[in-house]
Structure 1
């Protein structure tokens, strides 16, 4: 890759990354390799152009189609067009630079013959940015299968949801109260001249109002905080007192919830289980950095939650179930391209298997918190309706909170500007 890529300009590198995602690779899996080919000072722009284009992908596609006299049937040139349009309509990059750099990239990628088409379309849009900007804003920007599902699940929220999912999510910290209170850490940030404000729903959350390099924030090395979405932080507030209890964090990687439990409680034993060894290594790194290992014996295990049996029955199980992750599209815009309609039923089946198997590991009187970062009812409310219909020994504990939307079972949080991502919570007691 690098030999062919060495002659590419920055736009060329962005397009290579967009093509990798279109071919089914997640952004996380290719990002560091692609970034390494970009000069240090261009990396922020590379990030902005890659994530921004993915975020607006289906909206850009919708406004590009009418501009083509015949279909291009060329992934590379289409990516060049979307990237060019994104720069013209969503960034402050001067039009002449956006156009010439994108046309150059088209040629460098071997499509000299089609560079004229790219040039002509981008020039037209640069003359009519207002009209095209409006068209971009009005496009829902979702793959059609997802649009249909959200229309069925959330008809009254559809308009707002499609806008919310196109926006960037805020950068949110969770302070480690074993070390520092939220007020103290806000004061520290203030002294450093870093703009931040407290979260509304999480009492340990802080939203940063400017972009920062996380490892450079005060107290990072010492474990003063973690990066975690505000709505994900609510997990620990819904659990019973876990002091001296046997706790299983099923599907634990990368460890945000494991760490948060140890910041609040001293369990007798905590099992952190996940099938992904590589992501599990981050659990131990996080516990190490946050200095939390002293608060409970923690066993970190690579295992499949559909078959793994705990050595002892648990008082509490946190099941952050595998899901479509539609609720976190703002942070992972590649999901728009990677997720397919057919994935949902398979995911629902997998959730069901894990739920049924983990339920057997729970003591009578114990509780299970079922969580997803999805906003699709099939994975959330409908999954729970099915669970309660098939488990007579299960009883819902209603969440006494003032956030989210009450469902037949559980509560749904939708992604919200300046707030957290889409999350679902349902607390179940074994009777």
Structure 2
């Protein structure tokens, strides 16, 4: 059978195998979606995201049902059964369809010798029902190291964080303040019979009661709104932007915050947006074009100042550093499979290095906002504490806000099932002299 004629479950199994081998869903899912008709693509996406979200629980059940592990050349069949288990446990799919079509998918994957195993395992899973999870890692469907790390870092909140990570994230919009006030756009949504409410903390944020396709949003193509989580929108409230300022958005892709900066202050002198990835920079330009905004885009490693800096310091710098992304797992459930505990220490070194580099291009009297989408203290307030020891002149500003927790060196938002992602912000100012 041609690869492009594979049934959906077989394609989903190949995507999951790619994730297990280190590819993110954002890398391996788009080409897989192209193998299906447009009306089938949402179902494939839901299968892949859902199986990743519940991977550790489903994998624990599957391993208990297998007498011995499936051999490496046939590993894709392991993932095929995980997809089927996800449907049995978490979807409305008819049981007979899951069983029969999974066996057919096994045959389509050129693994006819394993059709009996697939049929037997799934029939017993359907007959016996879901087993009671034996560990917290299985119950909350997270890797063991992550459960333990969260338990250690957030002894009163770890279960709430894990549950929020497994919830479907709401769809949140940022209204382009150059085009509409939030109330005006809420009225547009109401007219279009799209149910929505204002966000609690982000001044231009709107949360939809249910996700929809962006082309259903009024004036989306004309730049009226962007999709952006409430926590990420808060960056502009931290920057204290004013006309005539030169602003740097380091690590800018995909450009949501660059655009938010330009929307919130129309009279900036210049916004420079840097990203190391040549693959991701065009996405920044696409967002700017749709919103009719302009920024100077540079492909560079922000930490390598000699490579890109023109010698003119910045009044404001947003440093949204590469991180574990442990605060946005509900939007990117493949993080549970891709991230390793050993990643955190090297990431912290990169974060501290970027902070020191950005400090050197900040104008005296300027402000730097450090941001992550992480909930791990090693990447957040502990980085700020380490930096303040290195830079004795740096002044920590405690913003007067109603959101997040004061960590002594910055504010931490934990993921909330009903609203924002997990995020961290710290504000530093450089003295005039």
Q: CA deviation at 1:142?
A: 1.1
CA offset digits 1:326-357 (Å, max 9, x no partner): 11111111111111222222111111111111
Correspondence for 1:111: 111
Q: CA deviation at 1:430?
A: 1.2
Query: Residues 16 and 379 of structure 1: is their aligned pair in 2 closer, same or farther, counting only changes over 3 Å?
Result: same
Task: Find 1:47's aligned residue among 45, 48, 73.
Answer: 45
Q: Give structure 2 stretches of 5+ with no counterpart.
A: none
CA distance in structure 1 between the partners assigned to 2:82 and 2:366 by the alignment: 52
1:290 aligns with 2:291: yes
Query: Residues 192 and 395 of structure 1: is their aligned pair in 2 closer, same or farther, counting only changes over 3 Å?
Result: same
CA distance in structure 1 between the partners assigned to 2:135 and 2:303 by the alignment: 46
Correspondence for 1:64: 62
Query: Is the contact made by 1:63 and 1:136 (CA closer than 8 Å) also made in structure 2?
Result: no
The residue correspondences of 1:156-175 to structure 2 (distance < 5 A) are 156-175=156-175
Query: Is the contact made by 1:249 and 1:317 (CA closer than 8 Å) also made in structure 2?
Result: yes
1:242 aligns with 2:242: yes
Q: CA deviation at 1:358?
A: 0.8
CA offset digits 1:222-249 (Å, max 9, x no partner): 1000110111011111121332112111
Query: Residues 280 and 226 of structure 1: is their aligned pair in 2 closer, same or farther, counting only changes over 3 Å?
Result: same
TM-score, reference length from structure 2: 0.93
How many correspondences in the alignment? 425
Query: Residues 136 and 10 of structure 1: is their aligned pair in 2 closer, same or farther, counting only changes over 3 Å?
Result: farther
Q: Give structure 1 stretches of 5+ with no counterpart.
A: none
The residue correspondences of 1:93-108 to structure 2 (distance < 5 A) are 93-108=93-108
Correspondence for 1:343: 343
Correspondence for 2:298: 301
Query: Residues 339 and 138 of structure 1: is their aligned pair in 2 closer, same or farther, counting only changes over 3 Å?
Result: closer
Indicate the SS of the match to 2:425.
strand
CA distance in structure 2 between the partners assigned to 1:209 and 1:396 by the alignment: 37
CA distance in structure 2 between the partners assigned to 1:344 and 1:194 by the alignment: 41
The residue correspondences of 1:26-425 to structure 2 (distance < 5 A) are 26-74=24-72, 75-129=75-129, 131=131, 139-265=139-265, 266-293=267-294, 298-308=295-305, 309-425=309-425
CA distance in structure 2 between the partners assigned to 1:348 and 1:299 by the alignment: 28
Query: Is the contact made by 2:133 and 2:139 (CA closer than 8 Å) also made in structure 1?
Result: no
Cα RMSD between the aligned structures?
1.9
